[in-house]
Amino acid sequence: MTELELRDLRKTFRSRGRPPVDAVRGIDLALRSGELLGLLGPSGCGKSTTLRMIAGLESVSGGDILVGGTSVIDRPAQARNIGVAFENYALYPPLTVAENLAFGLKARRGNARGDVQRKVAEIADRVDLTGILDARPAGLSSGQKQRVSLARALVREPDVLLLDEPLSHLDAAQRDTTRRELKRIQRDLGHTTILVTHDQEEALSLADRIAVMKDGVIQQIGTPYEIYDSPANLFVADFVGEPAINLLPGTVTDDGRARLSDSVHLALPVPVTQGREVVVGVRPEDLSLTGEDGLPARVVAHEPLLEAGVATLALDGVERPLVVLTGPEVRLAHDEQVRVAADTRLTHVFDAETGELLR
């Protein structure tokens, strides 16, 4: 069942004396009940504006928002039953954690005191806040504040949960633990959720599906595997993946390969018309150093890491360096000559002008 649907949703900010800003340019999305969708994109692409419109904190310039099949755009935020946990916590400093959680519930009519206390205790237990219910926000760690913020969104038993950069203020270790907890809580409680993030790792590890956004437009929607393995365009290919995908411009030859330089020609995964300007995309882990076959290359640098190494190679006459993931046991010397091969089935070819994947 579709729980949340956005239809051609738009937002233009207009302020006097300034050109209008098209922050969101027609978004279509449908979330199944219980699904966690990651909204991923660089700063300024319109993620927060989208979330704020769904929550009712920002007016819409066009399109519709449906929750459980019913349009909610004419309803004020309090009447939408959407739980929101923001990046900046937005907790009330004079209130204790328990009071912060109860606040949203008490504001609603028909909640008896006992019910409020029971719900607060239940959520506090789920989100691991039981020991700090009497503390005030100022005395909490960043991780605790983010959990309180999440609990406050959950306690109202919302139809839809919106999380804006929920892990952004945590250090690397806390982020790992909290990420796992968040996934467990979301699964257990089964909320239909949109998680906004600019952190690809967060999106890849938490989301059932990811929508990649740029300049107010969704570039691609798919499972984490689909987004990673079959990027729809150059932007998605480049934005998702660490170290980033190698993107090599070339011209298609009469035998259907991409000519990157006089001596470097790469086979393509699909037939492409001769003379077309393309960009070949190949991920660092889909390249291997080989004994004999493969393209000759010179080692520019090699960073040995714990689980893998990252080699930077120069291909003859090719301007862009080629980044290759190596095994942890590989030793490479500066200026050493090696051979490198790409698995053609795992390369992607994009139109250089439009950036779209050629299939």
- Decide: is 304 part of the binding site for ligand ATP (CB under 6 A): no
Considering the complex, state which of residue 129 and residue 213 has its C-beta at the smaller distance from ligand ATP.
213
Of 43-51, 132-140, 182-190, 318-326, which segment contacts ligand ATP by CB under 6 A? 43-51
Q: Does residue 46 touch ligand ATP according to CB under 6 A?
A: yes
Nearer to ligand ATP, 52 or 145 (CB): 52
- Residue number, 61 or 142, with CB nearest to ligand ATP: 61
Mark the segment that binds ligand ATP (CB under 6 A) among 42-50, 95-103, 135-143, 324-332.
42-50
User: Which residues 112-151 are close enough to bind ligand ATP by CB under 6 A?
Assistant: none
- For residue 260, what are its two tokens? 């990157």
- Measured CA to CA in angstroms, residue 115 lies from 119, 155, 266 at distances of 6, 11, 67
Among 47, 126, 191, 214, binds ligand ATP (CB under 6 A): 47
Residue 21 in contact with ligand ATP, rule: CB under 6 A: yes
Contact pick of 5, 10, 12, 13 for ligand ATP (by CB under 6 A): 13
Residue 71 bridge partners (DSSP): 66
What is the smallest separation between the CB atom of 45 and ligand ATP, expressed in angstroms?
A: 4
Q: Does 209 bind ligand ATP (CB under 6 A)?
A: no
Max CA pair span of the chain: 78
- Residue count, binding to ligand ATP (CB under 6 A): 12
**Crossing angle of helices 142-154/97-106, nearest 10°?**
20
Q: Which residue in this structure is represented by tokens 């689909």?
A: 226
Where would I find the beta strands (DSSP E) of 155-191?
A: 160-164
- In our burial notation (b when 16+ CB lie closer than 10 A, e otherwise), range 225-264 reads eebbeebbbbbbbebbbeeebbbbebebeeeebbbbeeeb
Q: What would the x/- binding string for ligand ATP be over residues 147 to 176, using CB under 6 A?
A: ------------------------------
Which positions touch ligand ATP (CB under 6 A)?
13, 21, 23, 41, 43-49, 198
